[in-house]
Structure 1
Amino acid sequence: MDLCQFSRFLNEYQQGFIRFAYTYVHDRMAAEDIVIEAFTYYWDHKDKITDASNIPAYVLTTVKHKCIDYLRHEQVCRDASDELYQLYSWEISTRIATLENFEPSEVFTSDIQRLVDEALEKLPEQTRRAFTMSRYENKSHQEIATTLGITVKGVEFHISKATRLFREVLKDYLPSFLLYTLF
């Protein structure tokens, strides 16, 4: 088959082969590409084909195999996409569940409590005792003064000293701190 005969053959069968391929691949551009590839394959291998061969059947068989390859490739892509979608869905579900179970107050409460404990350790013994008796044991200033053997003004001084230290230590948490009103 010479180039002129091939051109007539292409013009005669191309649209029918494209319709055939489109029936299976459902993509006009892909169908056109498949048919062009099939004609190109035939042209590249025409010397190996006998004159007695049914050339349109040969090209249509090539179109058929290229359609099968295309569909298998699409299936692999779809399977991979489905697998990625399932993985992504699982990840999203996990993140949602994690966020639903997350309690910011617990994070801030534990951080604040750790800072308070560290600050309490830094306080002088008398100041620490006055503060803990006031805030944790709910004792009045008079009761603390009596227990520690100091004046009420002394108790106020120690509590004020402790409160200043806590304000400094908890300055980054002050808005949260106010929510929890630990002091």
Structure 2
Amino acid sequence: MGKTRNIMAIDQIFMTHRERFVRFADSYVHHIEAAEDIVSESFLHCWEQRNNLIEVNDIAMYMLVIVKNRCLDYLRRERVRDSITEDMLSDREWELTMRITSLEACEPETLLRNEVQKLIDKALKQMPEKTRNIFVMNRYEWKSYQDIAQETGLSIKSIEYHISKALKVLRHELKDYMPTFLFALHFLNS
């Protein structure tokens, strides 16, 4: 059952996240063909290791870590290649060092969480003001339905309706990020 889940998850991740992973890799390696190769090799590695991924809870996150590590390998090889060249420009070395340092400090979990938070903020801005305010009072200010009802003069049923409406909008906007969204909601509530 776990193996089948991982095969389906890898296929789904390839379909939905490939372009985003390529953009991520390209933002560091600055070579689109190399970025595409890195992502393809990462997916191939995941596919070859699919039977060993039973205990991996978030395959997309696992995949992003593989892409990150392969980008680091690529940049390190580039740095060595550049250092061998007589005409190496010190600016290129500095830029590669900065990109390597930046990528080493990069936490895929934080990247995805920030991306999801931006989508949540965007979805909140699209909601009717009353729905957004009620959702914010409940999820960000930790107010109970009863407290919100007293503060707004609405019934508890109305509060439940607005929270349900907000969650429906968020589910729709974040359908591709549902595992990360659930993590973000847990993070907001803890």
- In the superposition, the TM-score normalised over structure 2's length comes to 0.46
Which structure: larger Rg? Answer: 1
